[in-house]
Structure 1
């Protein structure tokens, strides 16, 4: 009973804080911070943490706990994040003079600016990037021994689960080409092309958007992973909402939820061969268990294992670019937890990593101080990005970068802590587009300067 009272109190405080730092928790006006609250924390973590604390989760991962006390410690740690994360964001907003409700609503209503539409230079650069990303998609498929989506279309329904693992772990090409240019860049380019198509109504942008959209969908489903295509659809909903092409209401929200649920069920049936109705309806298995328990259970295992069975990593799982100077070998905590809890899956090659809420990796490295300072750091970083993007010009590039981070930051929150310290994909994409815009702006300013100077000399 005490756990339920604490849960309700913490949830109430968290809702109040998140509403202040996001500007809106309405499902009709989704944004980066509201998605963090609903997806990363409430649905993926906090519901499951209560079930675990009450010892009614019946989840196979939690059965691996050696010490039952970590049911309550884990619940306390997640409750701490529910309050401290938005509280850190709230302090940043106050220091920056950021009125979330006013500025976010203004951003939604603000029209998308025309950027370089009068010049072909940006289009030609964008076309070159698009060709590179589409070639990267083709490269990814060619370097994958058996492409799971193709095997599914051929009717080869056996061992699709194993094919998914092989596609991810036995890729025979350059991983950076796949991860950056195919998986990360292609969906983002398709969104930018869509915004230019809507804004300029020029045929060249429409013709470029179509193959980019096809490649983005293909790279999202090629390995039969369930989440990439779901999140790409959400990104597309965001971009339509932010450019004024879509207005959400209850009917549309219900339609999206039902469509998403049907898609998830179909993927479970055809990919994982699950056809038992009871497993779909059970809160501890099937898609429901995957949503409310699978993401948070490894956090409890991290707390149970590190400092007990495995010494703290003391920074060993941080990005290699940071620890390489100290001659420390990188090892991810999520991999160690998988090896400790499910050694048989490591031996037979079916086990990967147990990604979970970011505080788990912070704890694995630095104990409870890692949870404290890691939560504050992540909250400050997220709110700074949120404020910066809302205050940047609303042109197609910055808008789509905002949407890209609005989807990928919530995903990373339940993926690990290290990516918030150094994420090469995020840095590359940001520098790439910021560099292109800056380069073209400088060229246009120089051209304008010399043209005006020449005109004055002729007079």
Structure 2
């Protein structure tokens, strides 16, 4: 009863704090902070954390945990996360002078600024080249994948789908992995959002064609390895693009329809990909889709606490991004892989074991223990709040909207993946640089060009 009372009080307090930070927790007005609260923290972490703390999870991962005291320790750390994270963001907002409700409402109602007429031709050319590169990267990814799981599923070959999925996701190395992760997986959906916004704003055939091409490529790259979540997140990106441009007005009737359609799609994917057909598997809280949402994401956090407290020493700098670890002449190690090897060695032997990703607290603890957990909460909360404020205050152009939506979806996903990506993420950096260049071409190229040419003319006159 005490644990549940603490959980309930924390949810109420955390909800209040997150509402103050985000400007709105309404499902009809989704934003980066509200998605973090609902998806990353409440649904994927804290509800499952309660079940584990109460000892009523009956989940196969937790049954591998050797020391039961980490049920309570893990719950306490999650409780600290739910309060300290939004509290830190609230302090940052107050220091910067950020009025969350006012600025978010202004952003929703602000009209979209398309490319300046003088920049339009060069911008369309640059965007077309990037679109061609991303589509070719998708094709390259499929060609370099020895067995494409989605194609095998369509052909009816379901005997070794689990192994094929692991091979498809881990079978890349060297330059191939950068082509796949940056230009195919990351860039293609973002470019499709830009094309979508321009297509809805201008009605031009050029943008409609590019959107159709990029949309098809995005669907293909988000489903080729039969991972279930990427396609759902891409659909949410499109919905957010509609909301932020004013083309889609969400209400509870529409949200209910989307949830039902998504549930049907998810059940269909479980039946076709994993062969789950028992009705009980879909209704049980610790198996099937519900168990995957409530427990599969948070259980590895408790395994991290158990593993790096007793079986494996703390990683320290080895758990940091590779370029930081390289400074100390050590090789980066991902804790999620080490926990998989330690807890489920039989899956590694069979070739079906990947990684046990979880809330970022797991990787923070694996590196620097309890101090690492507290520092990571404060640091990541500051970073995310600054990103949120910056995007709400940037000009509302299609390129900026697309990058904003990308971070709105990928930051919550990264929060349940690890902490090192928040210190340095090459995909985020490169994507920001590329789209930053597009933004200059979209809005300010003619000003820069005029400035440079005027300088040249002045030098000629002096000569």
Deviation, structure 1 residue 435: 2.6
Cα pair 2:399 2:438 within 8 Å, conserved: no
Aligned positions of 1:122-133 closer than 5 A: 122-133=123-134
Higher mean displacement: 393-402 or 153-162? 153-162
Counterpart of 2:16 in structure 1 is 16
TM-aligned CA distance change 1:302 to 1:446, over 3 Å? closer
Are 1:156 and 2:161 counterparts?
Answer: no
Alignment of 1:20-419 (within 5 A): 20-118=20-118, 119-171=120-172, 174-419=176-421
Distance 1:331 1:135 in 2: 31
Contact 2:305 2:365 (C-alpha < 8 Å) held by counterparts:
yes
> Once the two structures are superposed, what CA deviation does each residue of 1:97-121 show, in whole Å capped at 9, x if it has no partner?
0000000000000000122354200
**Runs of 5+ unmatched residues, structure 1:** 455-459
Is the contact between residue 318 and residue 332 of structure 2 (CA under 8 Å) also seen in structure 1? yes
Residues 122 and 441 in structure 2, CA contact (< 8 A), matched pair in contact too: no
- Please give the per-residue CA displacement for 1:310-330, whole angstroms capped at 9, x wherever unaligned: 111112121111110111121
CA distance in 2, matches of 1:440, 1:100: 28
Could you report, residue by residue, the CA deviation over 1:42-72 in whole angstroms, capped at 9, with x for unpaired residues? 0000100000000000000101111111000
**Are residues 447 and 300 of structure 1, via their aligned partners in 2, closer, same or farther at CA, if it must alter by over 3 Å?**
closer
Three-state SS of the structure 1 residue aligned to 2:317 is: coil
Query: CA 1:341 to 1:99, structure 2 compared with 1: closer, same or farther past 3 Å?
Result: same
**Is the 1:117–1:200 contact (alpha carbons within 8 Å) kept by the matching residues of 2?**
no
- 109-118 or 318-327, which deviates more: 109-118
Using the alignment, how far apart are the partners of 1:111 and 1:254 within structure 2?
28
The one of 414, 430, 435 equivalent to 2:437 is 435
Deviations 1:235-290 (A, max 9, x none): 00000011011001111010111111111111110000111111111101111000
- Cα deviation, residue 451, structure 1: 7.5
C-alpha RMSD of matched pairs (Å): 1.8
**Partners of 1:41 and 1:441 in 2: CA distance:** 37
Report deviation, 1:170: 2.1
> 1:441 deviation in Å?
5.5
Give aligned pairs, total.
Answer: 457
**Alignment match, 2:460:** none
2:88 touches 2:381 (CA, 8 Å); kept in 1?
Answer: yes
Q: Distance in 1 between matches of 2:315 and 2:142?
A: 36
- TM-score normalized with structure 1 length: 0.97
Q: Matched residues in 1 for 2:441 and 2:82: separation?
A: 42
SS in structure 2 of the partner of residue 20 of structure 1: helix
- Deviation of 1:442 after TM superposition, in Å, equals 5.7
**Cα shift at 1:438:** 3.2
Long gaps (5+) in structure 2? 458-463
User: How far apart, in 2, do the equivalents of 1:445 and 1:93 lie?
Assistant: 33
Report the 3-state secondary structure (helix = DSSP H, G, I; strand = E; otherwise coil) of the residue aligned with 1:89: helix
Quote how far apart the aligned CAs of 1:161 are: 2.0
Distance in 2 between the 1:72 and 1:453 partners?
69
Q: Output the CA distance in 2 between the equivalents of 1:204 and 1:272.
A: 40
- The 8 Å contact of residues 145 and 171 in structure 1, kept in 2 or not, is answered as no
Counterpart residue number, 1:457: none
Q: Distance in 1 between matches of 2:442 and 2:289?
A: 47
